[in-house]
A and B are shown apart, each in its own frame.
Chain A
Amino acid sequence: MIKKIIAGCCFVVATLAVAAGDGEYAVSKIPAALLKDANAVKRMEKISFEIVNTGEAILRKKYAITILNENGDRQAGFVEYYDKLHEIKNIEGILYSAEGKELKKLKNKQIIDATGSDDNNLIDDNRRKFHHFFHKTYPYTVQYEVEIKYNGTLFFPVWLPREDEEYSVQQSSISIISDASYTVRYRVNNYSGDPVVTTDKNDKILTWEIKDLPAIKDEYASPNWFDINTAIFFGPTEFEIEKYKGNMQTWQDFGKFVHALRQGKDNLPANIKQTVHQLADNIADPKGKIAKLYEYMQQNTRYISIQLGIGGWQPFDATYVATKAYGDCKALTNYMYSLLKEAGINSYYTLVRAGRNAKKIMADFPSSQFNHVILCVPLQKDTVWLECTSQTMPAGYLGDFTCDRYVLLVDENGGKLVRTPKYGMNENLQVRHVKAVLDEDATLQLTSETTYGGLQQDQYHGLINGLSKDKVKEYLHEQLDFATYDVNSFDYKETKSTMPAVEEKLDITVSNYATITGKRLFIVPNTMTRTYRRLTPDENRKYDLELSFEYKDVDTVEITLPAGYTAESIPQDVSLTSQFGKYNCSVKLDGNKLRYYRSIEHYGGTYPAKDYAALVKFYDAMYKADRNKVVLVKNEQTKGF
């Protein structure tokens, strides 16, 4: 009650402050707290999502955004995507001045309609409509209204009032309208309280509303945006898309639907069946069979993405892939499944949300959260994972595109969530030995032998499989961290296994690696493995730190120096231990040989915000230690007196 009265008072004061005649979007009506750190303010937003029946829904959106300065301009544009399953019905837009006076209205011919295809697809049916008022007198307000018809209810919208950093929200609401008998499922992030439930004839309406969200700034290694903001995810119970029906209440139900989409699509042509038996029948070990057939699939298909209508969710059948020798992730995975099936090996078509640092799957909220498909082959003792869109990856290895996350295994009994393997510090290992000779002109002749393991080999796997030898050479000539250098020779060897490794040998000449000034010689003993991360201190760090990449590097360096120098300054050993990992380095002069040792173990995990200062310190200390110089002085010549 007290709250209500206070709110009322504020309202009165606020109204008094506003000059008479100002419109509802007058900037003067924005509470001061919402202007702080903000480039744009969402003034109001009203979303309604009406489930007309299990196969059709209508999304209506109306929102107004005040743009405070030039950096807020990107929030002022209107863009909506459409395809065969989504129709944009109507777009309206109005531009208002700072005082909230209407300046102009959007005319339909000003809406630009363009292809929304991206280069990864050979063809898809994505298109987009967009508009921008391009007003340059700040502040100003834009209001848009749009209606989108959903042909199919596989996807429900997400409510995310604060869509970006430096963006505050005065008011936003979403209502879900459905037949009273229909259950809408939802999952709430950072919203307290229950929805307001109202009814209208046979309809049930659930409404959530939020007010006065101040602007925030995104932070280094912060959790996913959806996890630190108010967000509600919605999902259907019964749904329909094109001719297919399903239920999403449990992962099992959802899996049944996914399975139905590919039912009967695993028939192989006779010649391919024959090939399968020729290849696999003589191999006793199931792992060997899998590897052989996977290799066959890699040799005989390639990734081509065609996404049209339901084809975005339904695979082309195995015969299609066999005759065309191409397919997208769904088609290729289904094809691999079919090959294994013919060889008597059962496997699971598996949905995954792919991408390094992809948003985590909400395991407690069955819904269509995936964007990629891989194959899971369970064996008696372990499980083999296959990425079927790659023509080069070893069987059983996933890489950071799909590792360490929940995935949905699908078969005729439905779906089941399991986790893909995680690659930790001991797998993501880099071991490097450098041997070098420094001559009198400060030129360094260097050979290095490096083994990259786990996720640390991904980049090199891509390099040697994706580029010709000439291009690899070009890459090396551009990318190494030396001022001026030539790569005399290089060699890569790949060990393809479930834990792959790449061995690299480099022979490099570096001009002026050391600095020789008169009698002194300055040299950085850490030649090739330096950290580059430096973070900006932030005393007001708000969110947890999420560090996902765990790794370990070990380096030994031996540099033979020109004769006749003695040490003047040798950096002290550095030994750092923190909750984020361990770092050690040491350098010794042994005759004319400089011996350097360095190791880093970087842990992963979630850390509280208050640990951020320690991370800044840890990275700074490593950065500095990696660049420490050894100073040597030339032995004085026998003096003439």
Chain B
Amino acid sequence: MSSKLPLLISGLFLACLTLTAQEKSTVKFGNVTEKDFATKVYPIDSNANAVVIADIGHSTIEGNTKGWFSLVYKHYKRVHILNKNGYDVANISISLYADGNAEEELNKLKAVTYNLENGKVVETKLDVKSSVFKDKISKNRVVKKFTFPNVKEGSIIEYEYTITSDFLQNLQPWEFQGAYPRLWSEYNLSLPEFLGYVFLTQGYKRYDINDKKSHMEGFTIIDSRDVGASERYRFNANVADNRWVIKNVPALKEESFTSTIDNHIAKIEFQLSEYRQPLTYRNIMGSWPKLANDLMEAEFFGKPVTKDNGWLKDVVKPLTEGVTGNKSKAQKIYNYVRDNFTCTDHSDLFVDQTLKNLLKSKSGTVSEINLLLTAMLKYADIDADPVILSTRSNGMTYAMYPLITQYNYVIARAVVDGKAIYLDASEPRLGFGHLPVRCYNGHARIINKAAEPIELLSDSLMERKTTTVFVINDDKGNIVGSMIQTPGYYESLSLRDRIKEKGKDQLVTDIKKAFGHEMIVSNFVVDSLDKYEEVLGIKYDFDFTEEKEDIIYLNPMFGEGHKENPFKSAERSYPVEMPYGFDETYTLQMDIPTGYVVDELPQSMVVKLNEENEGMFEYRVSQSGSGISFRSRIRISRAYFLPEEYEMLREFFNLVVKKQAEQIVFKKKK
């Protein structure tokens, strides 16, 4: 896992590799000449539909009239659209946040399209008044949208705007990388020394310029919120001017088996950490114990869990009465919450409704449901705490910093009989003590006094599947068999969902579809369907009524083999992030068909994925008397692989697919 860490080095520690810090982008608003249209194919990406010529952001802080400070973010961007498939860059959305009196305001928007017509540059300006639309997404969020006029193949578009924000904690992050290649991506950040921010950087590209200077600046704050004369404060402070530039950033590429592409973008983010002199010193970011303590005290998180929830008596009592042992009690409570509440949002950290109200509305977000679960466990005197985490698709978290905005999910941890059990009651058929795959994303944090970190690693998950097939010759000389299969836990979970939705018969239909309708399936049984903690047990008998030829070719995998290489693409840029490791064992015991002899058996083999034996493939077949024994096993013990290891995985599965396609050949006795 240590291989992930290089991404998470804080910008604070990055060596200053400034070589050409004075170098400036030559691009200026309005300064578009014929020469700028000359390039039709850019060396950075000969296939690009559009190329970002320059993307430049500036963030500064200034005093405002609300008695505090505002963030001022200026964004400038120029794009050369090379063909029709690049037209989507001309559609711009700017998201703005508001909360009560505090708001983000968009102004100084300018947008111009340039076309080369008869050798001359022709400008078409965006009519800001009539062509910028507003879409209200929610109470707090508005999106302003516009599209550039007169866009054609070869157009250059250019825009700039300013957002003034009252939310100091929303210092605009910067993504150096995006859907199109960028020739020049630059972010400037001027921070007065009285505001402390932590810098978080990630990605695989080094900065071409990483520069830091400082200057003195006067700040004026006016407080005109009260009636009467407004108050005015003035002071000077030292301001640090940071400048980061990456040149020639390639376009972002999506690949399969990545938790989220966000983990791989070159970007820099900021977190407000403290107020310093001349402001009254205040630690904003604090420490994990402080954050955990604040969360436990907050009405929107921990308070509803820790306070005296007398009203829970009516719910908890009937569940736990007469039940002995904390584990059984915890399980009763968990089952109740899981079975009676609907999760409406699987990405949420705080509660919007009271837990008491949740009990009535019966629907809530994942945080609401699991905080109710925690409160109920506590009410039953079970040691329980909430745990916050970031789901796989939400991206990785920094264990080092208590950055609440990185988290989007809450589960519960109960300690019973000295053992920690992690619980998520937001999934309808998830068993007690199991978590959905999305939760296994590394660092998670227990929200209690000690604020202990825990690691939920996909490498720790193992999907174990076993399949056993018996084939015999019946009295009539027909080949009949039986199949017993226990899928892994997560496969069981999805099969349970499928059965719930489509009925058990659907599985029989699925099997028949795989084998052909001529196969007769009987005595179909699914065990443990309602025992959500356990894996399923699937059993059935089958009967082939096909005509028997002089030679019978039989694949001993009976349709269970891998027919496709999961790693199809020939190249790989990012690590492979699978949801879990797996171990699949398939065994077959069969009678040689009556009247036949074995003409050919596949070769047995055992291969290891690598020297560390983190994966292996075993394929063994043997004949003893009138029977054939066969066994195929694939084990991959890790879920995370580096790009360098991709070719190894691809070759491994190439071999698996090849081997599992091999056939046993029977010939009629002469």
Footprint of B on A, CB under 8 Å? 70-71, 73, 104, 110, 114-115, 117, 122-123, 132-137, 299-300, 302, 304, 306, 323-326, 391-392, 442, 465-471, 474, 477-478, 483-486, 511-512, 515, 517-520, 522, 534, 536-537, 568-569, 616, 620, 624, 629, 631
Contact = CB atoms under 8 A, between A and B. Distances in A.
10 contacts: A134-B363, A306-B133, A325-B149, A465-B84, A484-B568, A515-B658, A517-B602, A519-B600, A536-B512, A620-B517
Contacts of A136: 339-342, 362
Nearest to A472: B47
Given A115-B136, A486-B570, A631-B553, A302 B565 contact: no
Given A115-B136, A511-B658, A631 B517 contact: no
Contacts of A468: 47-49, 85
Given A114-B138, A515-B663, A517-B600, 15 more contacts: A71-B500, A110-B361, A114-B137, A304-B91, A306-B133, A326-B149, A392-B84, A471-B47, A483-B657, A484-B650, A518-B602, A518-B603, A522-B553, A536-B512, A569-B553
A302 B86 CA distance: 11
Interface in B495-536: 500-501, 509, 512-513, 516-517
Nearest to B514: A534
B362 A134 contact: yes
Given A122-B133, A325-B151, A629-B553, A624 B91 contact: no
Interface string B544-567: 000001010100000000011100
Contact of A484 (B124, B145, B153, B565): B565
Interface string B263-304: 000000000000000000000000000000000000000000
Nearest to B564: A483
A contact patch SS: mixed
Contacts of A470: 47
B501 A391 contact: no
Interface of B: 47-49, 84-85, 87, 90-91, 124, 133, 135-138, 145-147, 149-153, 256, 339-342, 344, 360-363, 428, 500-501, 509, 512-513, 516-517, 549, 551, 553, 563-565, 568-570, 600-603, 650, 653-654, 657-658, 661-663, 665
Pairs A-B, 5 closest by C-beta atoms:
A134-B363, A512-B658, A123-B133, A468-B47, A134-B342
Contacts of A534: 513
A117 B135 contact: yes
A325 B150 contact: yes
A447 B90 CA distance: 40
Contacts of B146: 122
Contacts of B133: 122-123, 306
Nearest to A306: B133
B630 to A, nearest CB: 13
A468 B251 CA distance: 12
A631 B551 contact: yes
Contact of B654 (A474, A511, A568): A511
Nearest to B90: A302
Contacts of A477: 568-570
Contacts of B360: 104
B149 A324 contact: yes
Nearest to A534: B513
A483 B565 contact: yes
A512 B657 contact: yes
A77 to B, nearest CB: 11
A568 B663 CA distance: 14
Contact of A71 (B137, B361, B501): B501
Given A136-B362, A466-B85, A520-B600, A302 B663 contact: no
A629 B91 CA distance: 52
A459 B665 CA distance: 42
Contacts of B362: 133-136
B85 A467 contact: yes
A474 B254 CA distance: 10
Contact of A515 (B145, B601, B662): B662
A132 B363 contact: yes
Contacts of A620: 516-517
A512 B658 CA distance: 6
Contacts of B342: 73, 132, 134, 136
Nearest to A624: B516
A474 B570 CA distance: 9
B654 A536 contact: no
Nearest to B565: A484
A281 B135 CA distance: 45
Given A512-B658, A517-B600, A620-B517, A302 B570 contact: no
Nearest to B138: A114
Contact of B569 (A70, A115, A391, A478): A478
A620 B519 CA distance: 13
Contact of A324 (B150, B340, B600, B601): B150
Nearest to B91: A122
A520 B653 CA distance: 22
Given A122-B91, A517-B603, A299 B152 contact: yes
Contacts of A518: 600-603
Contact of B147 (A135, A326, A391, A469): A326
B553 A536 contact: no
Contacts of B565: 483-484
A304 B47 contact: no
B128 to A, nearest CB: 14
B180 to A, nearest CB: 11
A238 B413 CA distance: 66
B351 to A, nearest CB: 16
A323 B150 contact: yes
Contact of B513 (A71, A306, A522, A536): A536
B568 A478 contact: yes
Given A122-B133, A484-B650, A299 B361 contact: no
Contacts of A134: 341-342, 344, 361-363
Nearest to A308: B133
A466 to B, nearest CB: 6
A141 B541 CA distance: 42
Contacts of A520: 600, 663, 665
A468 B513 CA distance: 37
A469 B513 contact: no
B597 to A, nearest CB: 15
B407 to A, nearest CB: 24
Contact of A537 (B149, B500, B517, B601): B517
Contact of A325 (B85, B152, B516): B152
Contacts of A631: 551, 553
B84 A517 contact: no
B578 to A, nearest CB: 17
Nearest to A479: B568
Nearest to A137: B340
A159 to B, nearest CB: 29
Contact of B47 (A300, A469, A629): A469
A517 B662 CA distance: 7
Contacts of B256: 478
B147 A122 contact: yes
B152 A300 contact: yes
A616 B568 CA distance: 32
Contacts of B553: 522, 569, 629, 631
B661 A515 contact: yes
Contacts of B85: 465-468
B569 A474 contact: yes
B496 to A, nearest CB: 12
A135 B339 CA distance: 10
B653 A484 contact: yes
Nearest to B570: A486
A406 to B, nearest CB: 31
B663 A522 contact: yes
A517 B509 contact: no
Q: Report which residue of A300, A326, A485 has the largest number of chain B beta carbons within 10 angstroms of its beta carbon.
A: A326
Q: Report which residue of A73, A110, A568 has the largest number of chain B beta carbons within 10 angstroms of its beta carbon.
A: A568
B568 A115 contact: no
A631 B603 CA distance: 18
